[in-house]
């Protein structure tokens, strides 16, 4: 039940983009088409899950035993950068069209604060490896969900006659704010479920 609660909370209640404001750059940059948003969501999910596992192991078996926890951020950034390079090589071979569509935003996963933030949060919340992986997968699904919904809304906005002053990034930011407010409707669901399950 605890894992289900983490899953629901990470996707809806504490959505990494709409509640914690991590990963805003790809959220605004890759959300013009559903296809590229889905690709970015899958790439982030893969990198986020693998990065969480690798950074957890580095923290527990290298940084903590050697008392060099102050190197956490640097070590985690290096791991994430290496994983992004791996994803980039795989995407180039497997799906060249998606690789071209993602363009400059694929290397931006390296500096996506969502991935680094989740890796650090797993350590700060003292999760074990399994709980950390479930949290990472749930967060990645929440990221992808927000990205795909936002991309769908933006595709619809392209078919509407928007006032000249609101076109482009202006309407995108207003839409993002409204989407964040919509997700606020899920607040309290985690406490309700926890009380119902006696957690």
Write down the residue that tokens 């209640």 correspond to: 13
Q: Is the pLDDT of residue 130 over 70?
A: yes
Q: Is the pTM of this model over 0.85?
A: yes
Q: Is the pLDDT of residue 57 over 80?
A: yes
Give which of 54, 187, 186, 56 is closest to 120, Cα–Cα: 56
Q: Is the pLDDT of residue 44 over 80?
A: yes
Burial of 164 (0-12, 13-18, 19+ CB in 10 A): exposed
Among 31-45, 60-74, 166-180, the range scoring the smallest mean pLDDT is 31-45
Residues 142, 143, 148, 151: is their CA dihedral positive or negative? positive
Residues 142-153 have pLDDT tens digits of 999 999 999 999
């Amino acid at each position: 039940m605890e894992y289900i609660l983490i899953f629901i909370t990470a996707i809806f209640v504490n959505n990494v983009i709409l509640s914690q404001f991590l990963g805003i750059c790809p959220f605004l940059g890759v959300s013009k088409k559903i296809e590229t948003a889905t690709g970015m969501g899958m790439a982030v999910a893969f990198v986020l899950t693998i990065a969480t596992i690798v950074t957890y192991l580095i923290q527990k078996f290298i940084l903590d035993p050697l008392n060099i926890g102050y190197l956490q951020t640097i070590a985690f950034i290096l791991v994430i950068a290496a994983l992004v390079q791996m994803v980039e090589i795989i995407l180039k071979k497997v799906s060249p069209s998606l690789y071209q569509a993602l363009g400059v935003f694929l290397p931006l996963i390296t500096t996506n604060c969502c991935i680094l933030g989740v890796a650090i949060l797993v350590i700060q919340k003292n999760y074990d490896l399994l709980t950390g992986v479930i949290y990472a997968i749930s967060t990645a699904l929440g990221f992808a969900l927000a990205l795909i919904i936002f991309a769908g809304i933006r595709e619809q906005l392209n078919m509407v006659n928007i006032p000249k002053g609101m076109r482009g990034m202006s309407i995108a930011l207003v839409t993002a704010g409204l989407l964040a407010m919509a997700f606020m409707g899920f607040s309290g669901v985690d406490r309700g479920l926890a009380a119902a399950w006696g957690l």
